[in-house]
Amino acid sequence: MSQVIDLTIIKKTITKKTMYFTIIGFTMIMCMASSFSPEFSYSEDKNNNPYIMENSNTLENNKEYYSEKDSSVEDFNFVAVGDFSCNEDAKNTVINIINTDPEILLGLGDYSYETSAKCWKDIVGGIDPQKMKISFGNHEFEGKSLLKQYMEYTNLDKQYYSFDYNNVHFISMATEAPYEQGSEQFEFVNHDLMKTKTNPSIDWIIVYYHAPMYTSKTNHEGLESFRDLYHSLFTEYGVDLVLQGHVHNYQRTHPLIYNSENPSNPAITQSAILSNGDDKENMYVNPEGTIFAIVGTGGRELHGLDDQAYFNANQLEEHGFLELKTTNNGKSLVGQFYSNDDSIIKDEFIIEKSSSVDKTFFDDNIINNNPSNLKEIAYKK
């Protein structure tokens, strides 16, 4: 007895199998593509964080990025400075910055000091705007469209944002926008730090904004409400370095932790270190606290310094900029302040992360607020 074959059933079966294998193949291709596609990425989760920047422009499309599978990290340099103005000092600062060929320029606020951004854009015209990751100061709000001009020029659509570059995570905050607990900015920063702390690809966290937390006695005081909310948060999540402007001079602290009993007097967690018998007075190894630097030295008239706060390791009344370099496969961060005076390095510090150092060694060496208690801590690799 012959059997009648139903061609309709066969066609449906073939169609289902074809669709099944097509889906499997497409999924495998997408997974492989995502694994080998380098990107300069913003770290926020768009699905879970409503405050993420929408743009994710690349600085260098062919940049090789750090991964768990490859422990080597390509070292790079970047610069930070704020408070430019449109004058000869600002032009000299930019010329000296270009000579260092930085991969990123972190702007610390206050650029043209005019109702238009045009003169400042002319001065920095030799720097690719895509390399500029700027924060915003009080002088960016002097004209109705001024903030928009800066944001469009640097391809930003939020005043606060974050991004990864190699093994460094950067967070740009906005001291001119609402930042109190419960604000969108606070929720963004808190979520971002929490997420970054668990990211094995990140060795360094650097935060930058305009108005500083701590300063020696000068034209402006520290922003107390901002300090009391965020410094302890920075300590909790391991922020290594904070870069600030607004004060028109250069200041750099020892690693500091927040002092809840006397907030204006932070505790120094580590001062000078001896390494293999060589005096490295500005080296910090696995510091528990955060180093704060004010670099409001872009070109605007300088602010005088009446004294030196006990928590400052160095301070200068000179125009210039701070260059930072990752070295030693990304495990060291070197900071050098270049004065516009013959491009001389006037300050240098090193932060080193070494797994061979027992952090508990430093727990017994917390330095209190009395400057006479500053000590050199012996360190041997």
Helices (H), the chain: 7-35, 88-100, 118-123, 146-153, 184-197, 224-236, 360-363
pLDDT at 148 over 90: yes
How would you classify residue 10: left for phi > 0, otherwise alpha for psi between -120 and 50, otherwise beta?
A: alpha
Convert the pLDDT of each residue in 8-31 to its tens digit.
443 444 444 444 444 444 444 444
Round to whole Å and give the CA distance between 124 and 85. 11
Per-residue pLDDT at 210: 97
Convert the pLDDT of each residue in 214-228 to its tens digit.
999 998 988 999 999
Cβ(284)–Cβ(351) below 8 Å: yes
**Neighbour-count burial for 111-131, b at 16+ CB within 10 Å, e otherwise:** bbbeeebebbbebbeeeeeeb
pLDDT at 108 over 80: yes
- Whether the pTM exceeds 0.85: the reply is no
Cβ(223)–Cβ(213) below 8 Å: yes
Helices 224-236 and 184-197: crossing angle in degrees, nearest 10, is 20
pLDDT at 358 over 60: no
Convert the pLDDT of each residue in 156-184 to its tens digit.
999 999 999 999 999 999 999 999 999 99
> Strand locations in the chain, DSSP E?
77-81, 104-108, 132-135, 161-165, 168-172, 204-208, 241-244, 250-253, 256-257, 267-268, 273-275, 278-280, 283-285, 291-295, 312-316, 320-327, 332-339, 345-352, 377-379
Cβ(270)–Cβ(223) below 8 Å: no
pLDDT at 95 over 70: yes
Q: How many CA atoms lie within 13 A of 378 on its CB side?
A: 1
- Per the model's pLDDT, the better-predicted residue between 344 and 38 turns out to be 344
Phi, psi of 380 (to 5 degrees): -130, 135
Per-residue pLDDT at 73: 83
Type of residue at 35:
S
pLDDT-above-70 percentage for the chain: 71
Per-residue pLDDT at 280: 45
Provide, for the chain, the percentages of residues in helix, strand and coil under a 3-state DSSP scheme, each rounded to the nearest 5: 25, 25, 50
For 364-377, what is the mean pLDDT? 38
For 240-251, what is the mean pLDDT? 98
For 335-360, what is the mean pLDDT? 81
Round to whole Å and give the CA distance between 287 and 353. 8
Convert the pLDDT of each residue in 36-93 to its tens digit.
333 344 443 333 333 333 333 333 333 333 334 346 788 999 999 999 999 999 999 9
Give the three-class secondary structure for 257.
Answer: strand
Per-residue pLDDT at 281: 59
Confidence of residue 185 (pLDDT cuts 50, 70, 90): very high
Give the list of residues 6+ apart from residue 353 with CB closer than 8 angstroms, or none: 203, 285, 286, 331, 332
Convert the pLDDT of each residue in 246-289 to its tens digit.
999 999 999 999 999 999 999 999 875 644 444 445 899 999 99
Give the list of residues 6+ apart from residue 312 with CB closer than 8 angstroms, or none: 216, 251, 252, 253, 254
Per-residue pLDDT at 354: 75
Cβ(270)–Cβ(338) below 8 Å: no
What letter does residue 2 receive in the DSSP assignment? P
Phi, psi of 328 (to 5 degrees): 55, 50
Cβ(59)–Cβ(160) below 8 Å: no
Structure token pair of residue 11: 């066609």
Round to whole Å and give the CA distance between 110 and 114. 10
pLDDT at 321 over 90: yes
Round to whole Å and give the CA distance between 104 and 41. 14
Cβ(180)–Cβ(210) below 8 Å: no
Structure token pair of residue 233: 């948060």
Q: Which of 128, 373, 84 is nearest to 248 (CA)?
A: 84
pLDDT at 341 over 60: yes
For 183-207, what is the mean pLDDT? 97
